[in-house]
Amino acid sequence: MPAERLLPTTEAEDLIALVREIARDELKPRAAEAEEHERFPRDVFRLLGKSGLLALPYPEEFGGGEQPYEVYLQALEEIASAWMSVAVGTSVHVMSAYPLATFGTPEQRERWLPELLEGDLLGGYALSETHAGSDAGALSTRAVLDGDSYVVNGTKAWITHAGVADFYTLMARTSEKDISCFLAPSGSGITAAAPERKMGLTGSVTAQLVFEDARVPADRLIGAEGDGLKIALDALNSGRLGIAACAVGLAQAALDEAVAYAKQRTQFGKPIIEFQGLEFLLADMAAGVESARATYLEAARRRDRGVPFQRQASIAKLVATDMAMKVTTDAVQVLGGAGYTRDFPVERYMREAKVLQIFEGTNQIQRLVIGRALRKL
Amino acid sequence: MNIVVLVKQVPDTWSERKLTDADHTLDRESADAVLDEINERAVEEALLLKEAHGGEVTVIAMGPGRATDAIRKALSMGADKAVHVSDDALHGSDVIATAKVLAKAIGTVEGFDLVIAGNEATDGRAGAIPAILAEILGLPQVTQLRKVTVEGTTVKGERETEEGVAHLEASLPAIVSVTEKINEPRYPSFKGIMAAKKKPVTTLTVADLGVDAGEVGLGGAWSGVIEASPKPPRSAGQRIDDEGVGGSKIAEYLVGQKLI
């Protein structure tokens, strides 16, 4: 059953209808096989790009959809319900465009933002390093100005779309104390290592990204030298909302599978949904999905109104991803032995849920952010 | 080219479709309403012809207020403007009344060259509107096409039947109907959705079209539904255990059903 949504405008309703149609006809039917064979669906991103779905929250004048986060995130959630790797990729692409869209000069935006948003290009976000995960400020990739370009050396880790992206939003050290942000086009000097062999999201590429004397033109520095970490953390605030929405979409898909199964599976002469032990489990799953949706939408509406939303974004990411882990695990329980096999999607959903508690700020980091905010109250 | 596409909002084929108890017309509340799939293909064909020859695409829909959703879908795919015939008097109209109203609505589109319809709607499935329209408008009809091309002032098409493929042509203006084999319709883009909001939609009543309200609707229908009941659930099949004569038992069953 599709989620019931209260949408602010007719175009938002039409947008969700479009996303559902594409999800039903193009994403859902292909997801299981592509995930099993670890195939990255580059063509699906082209279709989403052509349909304007990779650029929803950005200004219309640069080719975006000019949608509030309240609407963009619900579209993202619908994609996640059909194919999690594609939704996470969409969220990463949107986050990769964020520093240019938010901190770029008018000239930079005019020059590069339209091509990032028109849908042909795909972005990656290069912040983490093997020794700099939660402690992002410890990163050691260096960018040294040489003439009219920066020469970049170092290795980034856990990069979604490494090797398949057309551009990377890169955080690198420009001095001992300064981290700076760059919009680096893929190309010479940038290579991807072998993809990580992940537990889930196997249709999405994650790998180390190696910079060896990679030249990034100096005019691709976003913000001033030294602004990089601030920009990176700001982008992550919005990115977390994307992950929260993805988590809710995944959990909704697991709930829908579980309910459908519990209605048609009979034991002791009746559908198992009629046994209260199962029914209450499903009820708790539904309560989890809907309250997490309300939580990320509240944070999104704060963002849309221009009021601080950092604490709410961290709460939404924490609540939604912990919920998704629980709901997908319970969905496997509802399907019993069938749920433990790869003939049904719920075991995949459970594997996909786990990483949500880890990336874009572990849930421990989210608690840290929330706790710091409480101390300041 | 000035192309008119006829579109209809129908209950989603994925949902359960019912008739109302009150007057046995379609229960529009019980199912999600969508732009008929075959009409998406008709719109796509019109857009392809427009892209090849230039011109304008006008969609025409007859239906209640919420048919605007189906019209917006066609506009977001790329049609230029729309005419929406909406009037409570039309409730329960049969194919003849519907064709009369649509003929008048098509008449409001100045200088049209081609009218494209689906071969039949997925709800009513009468499949008669294109032919009746051609009769009323006095235009040639080229129906049930799997392929359409326009050369100069001639429309050519291929109609596939069990016997083979017929190659048809007619001079413009003409009425064309297309089957589900004609094309794969495009998805709208979000830009298309935004643009659709600004495209002109003219809403007309029966009176605006100069049609007598008494000729249309349930009262004006030439036939009526007296009773309707849901399809009985499928009964359990007959099980045949093969003890050496399974084949002939199956043959006997099929003969009994007049299937062989």
pLDDT tens for residues B168-196? Answer: 999 999 999 999 999 999 999 999 999 99
What pLDDT is stored for residue B239 in this prediction? 82
If DSSP codes are grouped into helix, strand and coil, which group holds residue A215? strand
Parse chain B into domains and list their residue ranges: 2-220
CB burial of residue A54 (10 Å; 0-12, 13-18, 19+)? buried
B222 burial type by CB count under 10 A (0-12 exposed, 13-18 middle, 19+ buried): exposed
Average pLDDT over residues A4-16: 95
Q: CA neighbours within 13 Å on the CB side: how many for A233?
A: 15
Kindly provide the residue ranges of all beta strands, DSSP E only, lying in chain B, ordered along the sequence. Answer: 2-7, 9-11, 33-35, 56-62, 81-85, 114-118, 141-145, 147-151, 154-161, 164-171, 174-178, 201-204
Find all residues with CB under 8 Å of A71, minimum gap 6, and list them: A7, A8, A9, A12, A15, A56
For residue range B36-89, what is the model confidence (pLDDT) as tens digits? 999 999 999 999 999 999 999 999 999 999 999 999 999 999 999 999 999 999
The answer, for A56 touching chain B at a CB cutoff of 8 Å, is yes
Tokens of B27: 């229960």
Paired tokens of B64:
């209640």
Return the CATH architecture of domain B2-220. 3-Layer(aba) Sandwich (3.40)
pLDDT of residue B122: 86
Q: What pLDDT, on a 0 to 100 scale, did the predictor assign at position B129? A: 96
A76 shares contact with chain B (CB less than 8 Å) = no
Q: A47 and B76: CB-CB below 8 Å?
A: no
CA angle A95, A100, A101 (to 5 degrees): 80
What residue ranges do the domains of chain A occupy? 10-117, 123-227, 230-375
Whether the ω angle into residue B185 lies within 30 degrees of 0, i.e. cis, is no
Q: Report the pLDDT value the prediction gives residue A167, as an integer from 0 to 100.
A: 97
Q: What is the pLDDT of residues A273-327, one digit of tens each?
A: 999 999 999 999 999 999 999 999 999 999 999 999 999 999 999 999 999 999 9
- For A172, the token pair is 């690198």
- What percent of chain A stands above pLDDT 70? 100
Q: What is the CA radius of gyration of chain A?
A: 21
In the predicted structure, residue B15 carries a pLDDT above the cut 80 = no
The pLDDT > 90 percentage for chain B reads 74
| A374: helix, strand or coil | helix
Q: If pLDDT is split at 50, 70 and 90, which confidence band does B106 have?
A: very high
- Which of B59, B117, B122, B65 has its CA nearest to residue B90? B65
Joined together, the tokens standing for residue A35 give: 């995930």
* Inter-chain touch B76–A14, beta carbons under 8 Å: yes
Query: Which residues of chain B does A28 touch, with a Cβ-Cβ cutoff of 8 Å?
Result: none
Q: Helices then strands (H, E): number in chain B?
A: 7, 12
Q: What is the pLDDT of residue A251?
A: 98
Inter-CA distances, B14 with A339, B11, B87, Å:
26, 8, 28
Distances (CA, A) of B135 to A304, B8, B101, B179: 56, 20, 13, 20
Least Cα separation, residue A15 to chain B (angstroms): 7
What is the C-alpha to C-alpha distance for residues A317 and A329, in angstroms, rounded to an integer?
A: 18
Cβ-Cβ contacts under 8 Å between A and B: the total is 36
pLDDT for residue B259 is more than 90: no
User: Is it the case that residue B33 has pLDDT exceeding 90?
Assistant: no
Answer whether B132's CB lies under 8 Å from B99's CB. yes
What pLDDT, on the 0 to 100 scale, is given for residue B30?
75
The single-letter code of the amino acid at B125 is: R
Whether the per-residue pLDDT at A1 is higher than 80: the answer is: no
Beta carbons of B73 and A51 less than 8 Å apart: no
- pLDDT for A189 equals 96
Catalytic status, residue A360: yes
Cβ distance B60 to B102 under 8 Å?
Answer: yes
Q: Which of B72, B73, B190 lies nearest to residue A65, judging by beta carbons?
A: B190
Give pLDDT, residue A347.
Answer: 98
Q: What is the pTM of this model?
A: 0.89
**A73-124 confidence digits (pLDDT tens):** 999 999 999 999 999 999 999 999 999 999 999 999 999 999 999 889 999 9
| A15 touches B at CB < 8 Å | yes
Write out the CATH class of domain A230-375: mainly alpha
Question: Topology of domain A10-117, per CATH?
Answer: Butyryl-Coa Dehydrogenase, subunit A; domain 1 (1.10.540)
Superfamily of domain A123-227: Butyryl-CoA Dehydrogenase, subunit A, domain 2 (2.40.110.10)
Q: Is the pLDDT of residue B206 over 80?
A: yes
Confidence of residue B21 (pLDDT cuts 50, 70, 90): confident
- Return the number of other C-beta atoms located less than 10 Å from residue B161's C-beta: 8
Q: Chain B partners of A14 at a C-beta cutoff of 8 Å?
A: 72-73, 76, 188, 193, 196
Residue A22 to chain B, least CA–CA distance (Å): 8
Angle at the Cα of A245 from the Cα atoms of A241 and A248, rounded to 5 degrees: 140
pLDDT at A217 over 90: yes
How far is the C-alpha of B248 from the C-alpha of B254, rounded, in Å? Answer: 10
pLDDT band at B230 (very low <50, low <70, confident <90, very high): confident
Mean pLDDT throughout B210-215?
92
pLDDT tens track for B140-158:
999 999 999 999 999 999 9
Contact B19, B228 (CB under 8 A): yes
Q: What's the pLDDT at B233?
A: 83
Across all residues in chain B, what is the average pLDDT?
A: 93
Nearest Cα neighbor of B5 from B234, B219, B175 is B175
Q: What is the mean pLDDT of chain A?
A: 96
Question: How sure is the predictor about B116, in pLDDT bands with cuts at 50, 70 and 90?
Answer: very high
B76 contacts in chain A (CB < 8 Å): 14, 18
Length of chain A as a residue count:
377
Instruction: Categorize the per-residue pLDDT at B35 as very low, low, confident or very high, splitting at 50, 70 and 90.
Output: very high
For A37-48, what is the mean pLDDT? 96
